[in-house]
Structure 1
Amino acid sequence: MSLLHTQDVNLDRISNKQVVSFIHDNQLYQLNDFAALESFCPKSNCTKTFYTHHKTFHIRERIEKVWEAYKNIHPKQAWCGNMLQFGMQYCRKNNSISYIDDEYAGAKAGQIVLIRVKALGGLAKVAVGHEITAVHEKEMCLETSYLVKGKSLGSQRIQLKTCKDGFTEISHDTIYKSGSWLRDKLIYPFFHTKAIREFHNNIRRSLGLA
């Protein structure tokens, strides 16, 4: 029987070539293939030699409403813009795959998202995979980690807090490391800043704010 008739992932529903190539390169055709994916765990790895990246964003809206937006924005809206494009998502809890036009029930630990990141005016396009590893309701915090199969190891933490003016401050902290000094010192910080700014601006727009 051919692969076309046995695979669980529907490649025809993924709009960007880079994510499709990532799936082929890593042979992610069955649900079990996605379930076997590993993401970086900072708690069980030494991160002393990792680089750090910190940016702060502000949204002129009360924190409860902003937190709901971060949790519930559809991936096709969150990962959308000049740099970012949503590819697909795998959910460990339900052992299921969802695509760009499927319904979304909100962010949960164990969701693996594959996106395409474009840089250098489109000359460089790469697929990036990360997993939501924690959704902390009380602290209003989201944690994600890169897939081990990616170009960089690391994790990200998005923390919300109320500002003195009553609106919301978002701290986005990243630890990362690859096998390239040039990439880690010069390339990654620049393009990561642009990518996360696009992501947070998408959240802001979802709240009806400019």
Structure 2
Amino acid sequence: MTIVLSAILFYFLNVLFFLFVVSLLSFISVSILLLLKIEIRQWLVLLVALPIIIGTQFFLDKQMDAIELRETDIVIKGNGEIVKNTANKHLVTTDKDLFIAIDGIKPYEEKFSYTFQTEDGQQQAIDILISFHETDMETIRNNFQVFKEVLQSIDNDPVRYFSRYSYYTDVVESRLQSEISEKVASLKKEELTTAIMVNIIETVGAQLLNDEERKLFSIELISE
């Protein structure tokens, strides 16, 4: 089940549901006390109802997620269907495979700065430009599955959010740094001309990224 609600309706239903649950559980608590022939006192009702309310809330939180959506968010159900009209709305879902692409599909760029050690023990600082491409839903879905597997290999919690930026930092970045570091470490500082560094970045990028990842972003050296 997946429902999209306006902010006002979401908060109204939240309050309404909370009052309903409290009233229902208070009634159940009173019924239990009457059944046990215990004199009904307010503190006793609270004592019985409070653990039930907390347990019920915990159970509901495990069964569904409530998510506040931004204008650029794209909501994708577990079956691949795109949820429509979600901009600045609230989402309530029990779909454990649903995820949200939080950086949309439009292109943008980010600069990353790294420092590597050369063969002669010198420091080589470089700036890399990651160009995130305009992409399609199929590419996002395919790369999300890889992203999800990587994150769940570390922490088995559900993965709700995906971005091209996070894919780079969580899946690719450490491997990229390792490959560049290995190549820079085989050369002396004076040998690392701009042309050599451009070649290293292009070679590593070509070897490191698969076809689906190349649809997400490209990697290039920012030359001085």
TM (norm. structure 2) is: 0.24
Structure with greater helix percent = 2
> Structure with the greater relative contact order (CA < 8 A, sep ≥ 6): 1 or 2?
1
TM-score normalized by structure 1? 0.25
Greater strand share, 1 or 2? Answer: 1
